[in-house]
Each structure stands twice: as C-alpha cells, then as structure tokens.
Structure 1
Amino acid sequence: MAPTETLTPERILAATEDVLRRHGAAKATVVDVARALGVSHGSVYRHFGTKAELRGAVTRRWLDRTTAVLAEVVAGPEEPPAKLRLWFAALFDAKRHKAGDDPELFDTYSVLARENSDVVYAHIDELTDQLTAILQEGVGQGRFEAPDIGVTARALFEATTQFHDPVHAPEWSRPGAQQSFDTVLTLLLRGIAAR
C-alpha cells in the first residue's frame, strides 16, 4: 500500500492479517506490519500501543466477523425454533470454513485466541447474548420453556462446544460430523420445546 494513504486502525489490522498469514503468529512482528504499510513501526504504535494490543485487536476483528453473521440470523424473520437451528448451523459453518479454507491462518488465530482470552470471553458473551435474544423471543411466543433464559443460553452454547470450539476443529471434517451436529441440535431443541 502506498505510504501516502491515511494510516487508519482498519488499514493496520488488514495489513496485520496479511503479515500473520505470511509469517505466522510466532514470527510476525510490528516491524513487518509497518513495512507492509510503508510506514515506521512508531506509526503503528500510535494506533496500537503495544504488540499485544495489536494482536488482541486482530483477534477481535476475526471473531467479530462471525458475530456479525450470527447477528443477521438473530434479526431474521424465522420462527424461534428455526432461527435457533439456523444460528447454530451458521456458527458451525463459519468455524468449519475458517478451519478448512485456510488452515495455516486458522492455526495462527488459534494461537492469538489463547493469548487473548479476554477477547475470546467477550466474544462468547456476545454469542450467548444472541442466543438469549432468540430464547426470549421463543419463550415470549410460547415456543420454548426456559426457567432461566440466560442459564439456558449458556447451557446450549456449552452443549454444542464440539461444533464451534477450535480445539475440536480436526473433528469437523470427519465423516458423520454433520449428522452428529444435526442430532445434537434436534435433541437440544426438543429439550427446550414448550410442552
């Protein structure tokens, strides 16, 4: 990129992703990012005070892409049971694509996620808030039973960990993974269905 362009946090984050893709988490440096942008590393530090802050912002940016896709499902017109199924399917699909489409970058982000657990926990809170919204809609329509909606949302998220936690990524492409996902989701939906 030409150094005459205005240096913005977004440009820095995009360049950081490219550098991470090329060098990996262990070797990528702020100097590499600055070089890719045609600026001094001090210019990068004016936007992100430390390397850790930059890596945390990249991690948040990566996770926010999934959050945005899922927010569209939450806002969608589907009935709550269908919406809940679509939400989990979109989450599984997003994670599966990230792992399968660019395994090296996925490995890099897995390293960054371990470094930035506070960012990951905030992401999980956002996702459970989305689930809570779907459950509230379903309870309000008499479609779901959930004595404590927040606890139920967290339980649903944790019950599906196998299909979205990166530690399980090697299992996502195995034969039968989709069938296992569908079966777990069907059981969970039965468990919260209004009687």
Structure 2
Amino acid sequence: MKKTSTYAASARGPADHEVRDQIVLAATEHFSRYGYEKTTVSDLAKAIGFSKAYIYKFFESKQAIGEMICANCLGQIGTDIKAAIDQADRPPEKLRRMFKSIVELSLQLFSQDRKLYEIATSAATERWQSTLAYEEQIRTLLRGILEEGRQSGDFERKTPLDETVMAIYLVMRPYLNPLILQHSLDYTEDAPSQLSSLVLRSLSP
C-alpha cells in the first residue's frame, strides 16, 4: 500500500510524498478495522496524529483517500491477472488463466478483508475513476489475447473485435464487479472452467 498508484485519484500536493503514503497506510488500517462508511476524515486525523486541515492538503475528501486505496488494490489485482496470463504460451490457455485468476483474486479480496471490500463496493456503486481504470485494464488484457489468437489462427476473425471484447467482458463481469460478485459465490468453483470453455467454443474458427 505504500506505493503511489498509477490510477488517477483526486489528490493534492506532490504525487510522491512520504506524508501521502503515511495517510493512505493509516487509512487502510483504519478502514479495515472500522469500515469505510463509518470512518470520517476527523477519525483518520486523530489516528494518524495530524490535523484534519493537514490531511486536506493532500486529499480533497475521504473519497479521494478511498480512491487511492482502491486504486492500489485493483492495480495489484490487475498486475496479478497479467502475471497469470503471461504464464501461458497460447491464447486459449491465456484466456482460461484469465478467467481463473479473476475469480480467485476477486474471491480473495471478498473473503480476506470485508471492510476494505466495502470500499470496492462504494467504488463500483459510484463509478470511481479507479474502478473505471481497472475495467479498462481488464478489457485491454482481453483484447491482447484475442488479437494474438486471431493472428495465430486459434480464434475466429469474422466478428468485430470490439464486439467480441465487450461480450466476453460481460461474461467476466459478475466476478469483477463486487456488487454482483456477492450474488455469484455459489458458482465460483466451477465458473472459471465452464465459462472459459463456453467462450473458447464460441471463438473457434
């Protein structure tokens, strides 16, 4: 959590600053303990030992702090998904690994830290920039796999690429969006293999 995210967030002051990192770290711990909705900027100021006004020199609101935390978390998930994809040699297996890692990493976030999961829920509900950037990152990774598969002859080329990317993204979305994930937990064990197999059959040339 100490690294500054590459995702845009409503922050003030120098992008790389020790105090900013200190605020984000303390806020992460505080949100994990008390929850995002129940925590105020005044609570954070007391916990860190700063004045409320000093925190506002770096973040314009509690949401801005939450966005930074959410961006860091989603950024790490995106990195882990890409690492899983890169372990495969051919596009079909890359797609299978993408489905599998998305479900596993989303479940990990859901089960290991429910208080921080509340931040992700707020981000999805209010369409924070960090969430939009994460969704775009997923679609970009997916587009790369599809382009490679079309070039290698593993995937069909008749359907417009943008249409294919969005269709598969919508299949993945129940396991990407925290608002939907909580209603899909009964299917997480079989979902990665069954959904990826269905998608791969539809992509067959």
TM-score bracket for the superposition, by shorter chain length: 0.7 to 0.9
SS in 2 for 1:160: helix
Q: What is the root-mean-square deviation of aligned Cα atoms in Å?
A: 2.2
* TM-score (norm. length: structure 1): 0.84
Shift of 1:171: 4.2
Structure 2 counterpart of 1:41: 52
Is the Cα–Cα contact under 8 Å of residues 143 and 193 in structure 1 kept in the other structure?
yes
The structure with the greater share of residues assigned to helix is 1
Rounded to whole Å, the distance in 1 between the matches of 2:24 and 2:124 is 16
Q: Percent identity over the alignment?
A: 22
2:175 to 152, 160, 163: 163
Structure 2 counterpart of 1:58: 69
Structure 1 gaps of 5+ residues are 1-5
SS in 1 for 2:89: coil
Rounded to whole Å, the distance in 2 between the matches of 1:53 and 1:9 is 12
Structure 1 counterpart of 2:102: 91
Is the Cα–Cα contact under 8 Å of residues 171 and 177 in structure 1 kept in the other structure?
no
SS in 2 for 1:97: helix
Structure 2 gaps of 5+ residues are 1-16
Residue by residue over 1:3-40, the C-alpha shift from the partner in whole angstroms, topping out at 9 and shown as x without a partner, is xxx73333222211111112212221222223332222
Structure 2 counterpart of 1:32: 43
Q: Which amino acid aligns with 1:32?
A: D
Stretch of structure 1 that moved more, 30-39 or 60-69: 30-39
SS in 2 for 1:8: helix
Residue by residue over 1:133-189, the C-alpha shift from the partner in whole angstroms, topping out at 9 and shown as x without a partner, is 111111111111243223212211101223332223334443x53224321210101
Q: Which amino acid aligns with 1:148?
A: P
Rounded to whole Å, the distance in 1 between the matches of 2:20 and 2:98 is 30
Asked whether 1:148 is paired with 2:160, we answer yes
Structure 2 counterpart of 1:136: 147
Deviating beyond 6 angstroms after TM superposition, the runs of 4 or more aligned structure 1 residues are none
Rounded to whole Å, the distance in 2 between the matches of 1:116 and 1:76 is 31
**Does the C-alpha gap of structure 1 residues 117 and 39 become closer, same or farther in structure 2, counting only changes over 3 Å?**
closer
Higher relative contact order (CA 8 A, sep 6+): 2
Instruction: Kindly tell me the number of residue pairs found equivalent between the two proteins.
Output: 188
1:81 to 92, 95, 99: 92
Rounded to whole Å, the distance in 2 between the matches of 1:8 and 1:193 is 52
Q: Which amino acid aligns with 2:40?
A: T
Rounded to whole Å, the distance in 2 between the matches of 1:112 and 1:15 is 19
